């Protein structure tokens, strides 16, 4: 299945989501640190990145911007997570290159569905424009 890097400083939430995604057959590499996250992304070449906007050592939105400028990672879909619900924060996240935006707390089943949708899109399984979903 897919290789996923999950960067989030909320250890409990990350562990819960990692377990659910692993149960679906995905390999999940997690960290609470943006700098370590960059290293994981470079080493693992993930199919998908889940990124909290507020992580240690490197702001998640800035990390997303950097990824989108990086030739080897710029096509990797990024789901942004945050406890911030205001419109300017959401807009800043989407402008950084995130394809989906979720607020915390979130339902793990919702995250699983979004992950599967993005992975199917990446594989080309959703090439029918009538079936494509807009970023949330």
Residue 75 has pLDDT above 80, yes or no: yes
Query: Could you give all domains of the chain from N- to C-terminal order, each with its CATH number?
Result: 3-121 (3.40.50.2300)
First to last CA, the chain: 24
Locate the DSSP E strands across the chain.
Answer: 3-7, 27-31, 48-52, 78-82, 100-103
Cβ-based neighbours of 126, under 8 Å, separated by 6 or more = 117, 120, 132, 133
The two three-digit tokens of residue 100, written as one number: 């989906």
Place 67 in a pLDDT band, splitting at 50, 70 and 90: confident
Q: Number of helices (H) and strands (E), helices first, in the chain?
A: 5, 5
The two three-digit tokens of residue 99, written as one number: 């394809």
Residue 43 has pLDDT above 50, yes or no: yes
Angstrom distance (rounded) from CA 51 to CA 14? 10
Q: What predicted TM-score, i.e. pTM, was given to this entire model? A: 0.84
Give 79-101 pLDDT, tens digit per residue. 998 888 788 877 888 888 888 98
The two three-digit tokens of residue 33, written as one number: 């640190």
């Amino acid at each position: 299945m897919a290789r996923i890097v999950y960067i989030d400083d909320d250890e409990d939430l990350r562990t819960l989501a990692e377990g659910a995604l692993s149960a679906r057959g995905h390999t999940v590499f997690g960290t609470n640190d943006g700098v370590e996250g960059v290293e994981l992304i470079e080493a693992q070449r993930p199919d998908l990145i889940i990124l909290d906007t507020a992580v240690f050592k490197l702001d998640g939105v800035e990390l997303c911007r950097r990824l989108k400028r990086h030739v080897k990672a710029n096509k990797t879909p990024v789901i942004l997570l945050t406890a911030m619900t205001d419109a300017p924060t959401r807009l800043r996240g989407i402008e950084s290159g995130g394809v989906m935006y979720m607020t915390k707390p979130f339902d793990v089943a919702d995250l699983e569905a979004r992950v599967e949708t993005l992975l199917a899109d990446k594989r080309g399984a959703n090439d029918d424009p009538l079936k494509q979903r807009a970023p949330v």
